[in-house]
Structure 1
């Protein structure tokens, strides 16, 4: 059973809005990442739960007004409605459209749902959440629908926004076509009814904000300053609980707070602190019933906004992309590196309050990480070795070739690249094993020894003497390319895994254990405990196994530990 979950931040896509949703009490936030849906406490974001019921990448999730259920959609058009208060048990499932779900809306009675997106035969569907029977038709658009909103008071109405630059107004229930609104000149990104139901807004790629009467869909006004609302696409809009203010987020790296009555800007929140300008584009936002204003950056950062000062009062950080490497220090600091090159540190001394703190990362995927003598070593697809500490800073060393694995003992560093094996001592390159007749996949350093795994399924030992590396006789019982290796603390037992999911333990070049064969996919990582009595393995099959050296047939299986590994 998972005891703690350190949540990722929402998955974002450049040029596309990301949906955030809170419960009616304003205490919990829900969003999607990869194939999962995450629910986090707004006061203490370290408190989180994960729903992993989707088979495909998730795209949108919304709380029901009652707070008892969440409806979530994925790229294949599936919508799952599940329990938001307990263990996430499934209430119902439907495939309303044959394509990506872009947005979901509930009616105020928590009975009816409208799901919209990029379908083939239709772009949206209205249905009852329990019986799944139809409660109207969503028509009137010629391209994918990006957003949907339902009037929270009777008589119920609905509006949708589309890439065809139109907004369609529906009457209900059952929902039926009312009229087409053509005020925008480019993609319409979001529509949203105010909590009172008297007004709804639309925002789009033309940088415009329009306000409409909630009962008839007649245009009331346009929010603008000097002819524009934002200097670029507006991705998201959220209303204040009293329906007096509107929060908008855009590609111009700003989030703006509007007084709807006066049509004036109350505050502008500017985001320009990222290393790359586009990372600060604001692609989503939400305004909770407890007055939490949250805006989402393209980088995945969740920004808590202080509406009085116009500043960011808090940032919730983490990984928006898959974690590809990790390491932990003796002082209980966890380092994680992800597919996009970001590296975060986590203080594990207080597991209930652990929050990510980004540190200097890589320009591309982090391939491997290791901690030695409290120093962090990492290599990435940017062909760089980074080493240092948070206090003293980090410095970069080019590796010339693509690093695939990293091993550190004392001050000695071995890096297996796709062309050679490089050895560094105190940050300086002291030796290179090149002109090889094999392709290295991983390397492990021991006291006076180096083991190199390769694509030909062999392990090649080297004896280290100063800067001289003397090769020994290759050995292996593995039958596939070597994917992971780990040397026990005594330096006598070598655990080796391959692409076929098989793990062997060698002692002095001879096979000691050959029974660890229960993984069904490539093993990606191996690690020994301090006593050298157990090995833990992770694999593409999403499972984690703990193996016993003394009792090789004994194992502990943690099935489906991650949705993807």
Structure 2
């Protein structure tokens, strides 16, 4: 069948870093000072430091990526994954062409360092046969040996001035000092009593620092490796120190700690100039930091990226929020000239992305893309579906067996607007007059004004998806039996209609067009069937094109077009009256299928995926 391939402009709202409790997160900085980078899943995310709404994503690793670092030239990035693969790729082209790929050892890579001429790379981690390697970037041939540790090496750095020196830090509570090239082990640095999480040379090479789970930061002479001092006397922090980053002039450094603070140190005096208090929650532990140009960045266990303000240490200049876990659901809402994208992830987190649309309508102003989240305690498990009702409430259903109604003007979860369900809800839809239809495993529940008023149980089919007609008179429920069952809403009850329609296979999702004229039904047999409501739900058209089970469907505001996404990682935009014309959005989210679809206007489609990113596409007919 003919279709048009859409090479559309799209905008990426990047994921946050993937975080793990008690594990340091390495942030990379580009030598020109414009970008910073981190990893999430199989992706490397590059963000503009002045405007983090500008982002680029590299998705070529086959395994979870753990660390990425710019070459000092700025032209290449080396990224390493859990299998021990290192990929060196181009930063200047949009395609990020692969230059070289190596496997220095088998196992998780934890840190990477380059020599200042961008010719040699050191890699450390959890190798089975060794914990580190140093090699030439263009041939992979060895330029020394990383020895001297008997446990995982967490961190490595190379002095950026000659004569070269290399340092490592390990779970064996020691650092190690090497001379080269070729790099040879000289001696152990035995000054810590806990895991050494991070080791870093000052940019001028005169000093290096080691940071440890023993709350200490030790300063050494960069050329000889002799101990010079410890920061803060007995201890630098009241918790393990996970990361350190030097100032460009080599006189100061910042440190990130499990005590939920970041400190700014005057290295010569050995004292903390500023302490940034990041909060009281476990999620506020600080696991990574980067000093880039005039910016101090830190990363919380929550994945939030903090831009610290030394003039106001208890209040960051900005906090980049978003998702660090896979996104499962999505809806869009417009309010007073602003557009809000609500997305829910598999850890129960709901993110609010807001911006104002400028003229022309489908031009997106990246400057205003702000992320936020609701106050208070929300869902404790995956948010499966979400929709906004006519009273500006966000209605969400979750695997924690609840429905929540959240007032979008207040942006705060409310304990009283929580409805506990008997079974896990899979889908939720709303209609004017306070109506909500929740399709749960084994039952269908009608709610009115946030209260359950009617439950269908003991059904002879397994309900899978549901939709209320915008007029509020009919509820359609799609089943694993491949049928669509209609119920009329009479007062507070659901009455079974004699009409049932046939889909081509077990139903996966369904939606009425905004004007109520059509019902689109997707199924496991890769077909979208559109029924015409006024014609007694006769079939208007069948839409073929997906190569795998279809997951979700969303109607354009024009009621003439709708989008579908499938397990084939494809998104198609269809025209109701012409089943042969379809627009294909290629490579929407390269690594995973699209989990959520929503329209902002008739030319702007938003997609979400398990890669924790939100993307916006311009669709032209």
TM-score normalised per structure 1: 0.94
> Do structure 1's residue 368 and structure 2's residue 418 form an aligned pair?
no
* Inter-partner Cα distance in structure 1 for 2:588 and 2:484: 29
> Do structure 1's residue 408 and structure 2's residue 430 form an aligned pair?
yes
> Do structure 1's residue 383 and structure 2's residue 406 form an aligned pair?
no
Cα distance change of structure 1 residues 216 and 455 upon mapping to structure 2, 3 Å threshold: farther
* Inter-partner Cα distance in structure 2 for 1:54 and 1:417: 37
Q: Aligned to 1:518, which of 531, 536, 546?
A: 546
Q: Is the 8 A contact 1:502 1:519 kept in 2?
A: no
Q: Aligned to 2:572, which of 517, 538, 545?
A: 545
- The equivalences for 1:105-116 within 5 A come to 105-116=113-124
Cα distance change of structure 1 residues 167 and 64 upon mapping to structure 2, 3 Å threshold: same
Q: Deviations over 1:421-461 (max 9, x none)?
A: 22112222221112333332221111311111233333222
Q: Aligned to 1:478, which of 497, 504, 510?
A: 504
Alignment-derived partner of residue 77 in structure 1: 84
Gaps of 5+ in 2: 1-7, 358-364, 594-621
Alignment-derived partner of residue 319 in structure 1: 323
Alignment-derived partner of residue 437 in structure 1: 460
> Equivalent residue of 2:249, what SS?
coil
* Inter-partner Cα distance in structure 1 for 2:528 and 2:153: 49
Q: Identify the structure with bigger relative contact order (alpha carbons < 8 Å, sequence gap 6+).
A: 2
Higher mean C-alpha displacement, 116-125 vs 127-136: 127-136
Deviation at 1:325, TM superposition (A): 1.1
> Equivalent residue of 1:491, what SS?
coil
Q: Is the 8 A contact 2:237 2:259 kept in 1?
A: yes
Deviation at 1:543, TM superposition (A): 1.9
Alignment-derived partner of residue 554 in structure 2: 527
Alignment-derived partner of residue 111 in structure 2: 103
* Inter-partner Cα distance in structure 2 for 1:132 and 1:187: 30
* Inter-partner Cα distance in structure 1 for 2:567 and 2:229: 54
> Equivalent residue of 2:11, what SS?
coil
Deviation at 1:382, TM superposition (A): 2.4
Deviation at 1:70, TM superposition (A): 1.2
* Inter-partner Cα distance in structure 2 for 1:543 and 1:424: 34
Q: Aligned to 1:283, which of 287, 293, 302?
A: 287
Number of equivalent positions: 558
Deviation at 1:510, TM superposition (A): 4.8
Deviation at 1:394, TM superposition (A): 4.5
- The equivalences for 1:452-467 within 5 A come to 452-467=477-492
Higher mean C-alpha displacement, 102-111 vs 137-146: 137-146
> Equivalent residue of 1:279, what SS?
helix
RMSD (CA atoms): 1.9
Alignment-derived partner of residue 181 in structure 2: 173
Q: Is the 8 A contact 1:101 1:116 kept in 2?
A: yes
- The equivalences for 1:35-74 within 5 A come to 35-74=42-81
Q: Is the 8 A contact 2:106 2:127 kept in 1?
A: yes
> Do structure 1's residue 399 and structure 2's residue 420 form an aligned pair?
yes
Q: Aligned to 2:35, which of 28, 41, 58?
A: 28
Deviation at 1:369, TM superposition (A): 0.9
* Inter-partner Cα distance in structure 2 for 1:255 and 1:60: 21
Q: Is the 8 A contact 1:484 1:497 kept in 2?
A: yes
* Inter-partner Cα distance in structure 2 for 1:61 and 1:99: 16
* Inter-partner Cα distance in structure 2 for 1:304 and 1:325: 29
Q: Is the 8 A contact 1:477 1:511 kept in 2?
A: no
Alignment-derived partner of residue 242 in structure 1: 249
* Inter-partner Cα distance in structure 1 for 2:127 and 2:240: 23
> Equivalent residue of 1:408, what SS?
strand
Higher mean C-alpha displacement, 369-378 vs 6-15: 369-378
Cα distance change of structure 1 residues 436 and 79 upon mapping to structure 2, 3 Å threshold: same
> Do structure 1's residue 502 and structure 2's residue 527 form an aligned pair?
yes
> Equivalent residue of 2:26, what SS?
coil
Q: Is the 8 A contact 2:503 2:521 kept in 1?
A: no
> Do structure 1's residue 306 and structure 2's residue 309 form an aligned pair?
yes
* Inter-partner Cα distance in structure 2 for 1:155 and 1:437: 78
Cα distance change of structure 1 residues 26 and 512 upon mapping to structure 2, 3 Å threshold: same
Cα distance change of structure 1 residues 3 and 517 upon mapping to structure 2, 3 Å threshold: closer
Deviation at 1:255, TM superposition (A): 0.9
Deviation at 1:34, TM superposition (A): 1.9
> Do structure 1's residue 122 and structure 2's residue 136 form an aligned pair?
no
> Equivalent residue of 2:442, what SS?
coil
Q: Is the 8 A contact 1:148 1:191 kept in 2?
A: yes
* Inter-partner Cα distance in structure 1 for 2:558 and 2:34: 44
Q: Is the 8 A contact 1:516 1:547 kept in 2?
A: no
Q: Is the 8 A contact 2:355 2:370 kept in 1?
A: no
Q: Is the 8 A contact 2:210 2:217 kept in 1?
A: yes
> Equivalent residue of 2:31, what SS?
coil
* Inter-partner Cα distance in structure 2 for 1:489 and 1:513: 18
Q: Aligned to 1:561, which of 554, 573, 588?
A: 588
